[in-house]
Amino acid sequence: MIPILTTQRWTSPSGTWKVIDMESKTCIECKRSLPLYSFQTYPNKRRKGKCRECCNEYERKRRKTHMGWKEAMKKWRANNKEDIRAYGEQYYEKNKERNKEQCKEWRKNNPDRNAQKSLRRYSLKKKLRSDFTFDEWEECKTFFDYKCAYCGQETKEYVQEHFIPVSKQGGYTKGNIVFSCKTCNLSKTNHDFFHWYKRKPFYSHEREKRVLDYLEMQSDGG
């Protein structure tokens, strides 16, 4: 619809009436002729057919309907679990190779999240607490300045190291994970930290205190 010029009056600061020409447009929903600023624009600067008020009303109704749709879908999934499982298995077999390639690419591009996923699954399998988050891992890396908590070396090949090993009931929690290089992680394995660390040539009382202070702070909810 082509905008048309309409004549509107407004009051100036001095209190006198002035007459100006202003472009207007008719809303396709409420049929009112309104100034162009009453219509939102698309990214290409084209004006929408509905005025702002009608667009807002439509959005309110859409959200209300959408919530009802979500509840209906939840109920449908609960009543059709077997069909959904069968479809998933069929889809997986049909797209097995493509899924493998996508998973491989995701693991390559998201090493931290992949490690978190694997460690969380392993801890749950051992029936241990497992609530370490990606944000907490980012905080851990920042705290240790991307340097191994044990040897102090800066490394690009790092791991999420269990201070108390899983074999000794160490959970996957922010109070038990530190930033470590792969070398120290493989060396420590399931050894007791205090017995293992003091025997290493890179032992540092300062780093030991830093690790213990960090874990204590995390355990206290800091």
CATH for 129: 1.10.30.50
Are residue 86 and residue 172 in the same domain, yes or no? no
Based on the fold, state whether residues 143 and 209 are members of the same structural domain: yes
Tally the C-alpha atoms within 13 A of residue 31's C-alpha that lie toward its C-beta: 0
Q: What angle do CA 150, 194, 166 make, to 5 degrees?
A: 80
pLDDT tens-place string over residues 34-90: 888 888 888 887 888 999 999 999 888 888 777 777 788 888 889 999 999 999 999
Question: In the structure encoding, which two tokens stand for residue 200, read together?
Answer: 């290493």
Domain that holds residue 70: 66-108
Q: In terms of domains, do 103 and 161 share one?
A: no
pLDDT tens digit sequence for 101-124 = 988 898 888 888 888 888 888 888
pLDDT digits (tens, 9 = 90+) for 23-39: 888 999 999 988 888 88
Tell me which of 76, 108, 140 is where a domain ends.
Answer: 108
Contact 210, 149 (CB under 8 A): yes
Last residue in a domain, options 50, 81, 108:
108
Q: Identify the band that residue 22 occupies on the pLDDT scale cut at 50, 70 and 90.
A: low
Model confidence band, residue 10 (pLDDT cutoffs 50, 70, 90): very low
Specify whether 101 is located in the same domain as 160: no
Note whether residue 93 is domain-resident.
Answer: yes
- In angstroms, the first-to-last Cα distance of the chain is 60
Give dist(CA 179, CA 112) in Å, integer.
12
Domain count, the chain: 2
134 and 160: one domain?
yes
